[in-house]
Amino acid sequence: MNAGAPNPTVTHRPQQRCFETTVDGERCHLDYSLADAVMTIVHTFVPVALEGRGIAAALMRAALQSAREQGWKVYPQCSYAVAFLRKHPELAS
């Protein structure tokens, strides 16, 4: 995260298949599907006004940590997830 950026608390909502946080009153989220112990990350969303603050990365880290704890494989379908895992291959499960 950038200096001075918030360290958002990310909440996993398994019934909705998402991870989310609220920053400056705006909902940010990562959506996934789950089949055969494979978490497919289908979408990440951070409002334009909040971009560049590490929020999407915090959502990804929470999703990857959860997948690791559950023993799930991760398939990055959305472009952000693909780019994040290319940049941080050590976090791939």
Report pTM.
Answer: 0.91
Helix (H) or strand (E) holding 1: none
Domain ranges of the chain: 11-91
What's the pLDDT score for residue 43?
A: 97
- DSSP for 23-91 reads ETTEEEEEEEEEETTEEEEEEEE--GGGTTSSHHHHHHHHHHHHHHHHT-EEEE-SHHHHHHHHH-GGG
Q: How far is CA 48 from CA 36, 51, 56, 93, in A?
A: 34, 5, 11, 29
**Could you report the per-residue pLDDT of 15-69, keeping only the tens digit for each?**
999 999 999 999 999 999 999 999 999 999 999 999 999 999 999 999 999 999 9
* Topology given in CATH for the domain delimited by 11-91: Aminopeptidase (3.40.630)
